[in-house]
Structure 1
Amino acid sequence: MKVLGRYPPNVKQIAHYLIIQNITIGDTGYYTCSAKNRAGLDIKTVHVLVNATNPTLVAPVIIASSDVIVNLDTEAVIVCNVTGYPTPDIKWVYDHDKNISTVLISGGSLRIPNATSEASGLYTCIASNDAGSAKAFVFLYVVHGSIPPRVAPVITTSPHVIVNYYTEAEIICNVTGFPTPHITWEYDQIMKGLTVLISGGTLPIPNATNEASGLYTCIASNDAGSAKAFVRLEVVHDPSYIFSPPEPFSGSAGVSQNISCKVSGHPQPTITWKFTSFTRQTSVLPAHTLFENGEVLEISNLQESGIISCKAINEFGKDEASAHVIVHHDSAVFG
């Protein structure tokens, strides 16, 4: 037995073995072994690939199909070519809970033999390794008869959206086109990393604050072309303001009385009440119940006169109002 070709200096043949000492990346190559006797000759080739001691991790990068359109009962192939180190794991997710017969083929692509109308939908190729992960979205259309013409995206949207602080903002990007356009969003010209592939292209922003204000760009694209639309989001706030303060009250001891303190502001102000007695050092409220988010105070069994105060506060300001409460105690009559 011998090995064809010249040995590198660190390679030795001992009997039927080839020994590679102090192996380096330079030893990468094809090693061919031949064996010969009177009965004949046989040759085998082995590929030796030497990785670096500490190879650089590379996050997955996906090159996927654009939308795929096939006729009913024909084969559909959704391409998802993935690179990265270590070799990424590939998983496919289908947007409907249906039992679709699929076959994962070389390189991570997906093959669907005899595609039916149930196979139509959004497919997500997910690649991951120790360095990170990536996703690609492909819409599969299974059509009966002639394939419809491709139509470039057309966007309809409102150019200005105003919402209150800490409420949910929805930026809507209505898109038409065929195949179904892919929709991505940019925020102040910076990619937010959010890809929207749902009908209508609604971008939800929960608990909107000043940080969410700015210019959003809806970008729609398909095989026929692309389009952009710009939407400016304004998140508004108002300091606390008491527009209907408590009113003075005069009545007999022991009665119950409702006192209101109507406020406005965004975010919704928090309301606190205080009672200051004319006759003793206390600011503790008498027995009471709060209604309407604290805007209505019901005092039960009122026994002393004083000042009732309400304070409204949010993170942008505060307001305070007060009113006098006069309690009359009927004098006892003796016969």
Structure 2
Amino acid sequence: MVSVIEENSPLGVLHFNASHTMTHRHMVLVFHDSASIDCVSQRNDVTYEWHFNRSLRLPPNVHSNGRSLKIGIMTGAEVGNYTCIAYSHGLATSASVWVSVKEVRAHVSQMTTSLAHPVTAHQFNVVCHVVGYPEPTISWSFTDPMGQTIVPPGVSHPTPNKVHIQSFQPSLHSGTWTCMVRNYLGVDQKSIRI
């Protein structure tokens, strides 16, 4: 745990213990990372309350339990100012930490395929595993063995990073599937031959 000491207060010194490095009350997380922050007072009879950007409503992936705050998965919606307010016998003090996301160039880490029902339905998925922040945009292209780049029939996109072939037909769906990703930091692509 990394400890960041806050200023003296009526409740004594308030500080943070965090799972990641903090610099000047600022924590930078990698996209899809998780983290924890504990707010600690020197006194024993303290109750704690967490605010996000001056609101009691925390983002969906963030949960508090007394002095502990857990960020389950960093998606970008969790970027902001987290304030711990400590109460004891009519006294209150607070300390804040700004949590942000490290910007990462768009990158395709891998391409995978799957057959959901290989014998009966021949349903086939091609999945593009993407990293990057801001979250990259994803585009797909298909090139058949003759070099044509038309999208064959029977193809859907249940999610931006997945191509679903409802009824795999080698004459229609065999070829090269390419996934291209981009954010303002860069562009990347990978292909898989089916």
| TM-score normalised to structure 1 length | 0.32
Which of structures 1 and 2 has the larger relative contact order (alpha carbons within 8 angstroms, sep 6+)?
2
Higher-Rg member (1/2): 1
| TM-score normalised to structure 2 length | 0.48
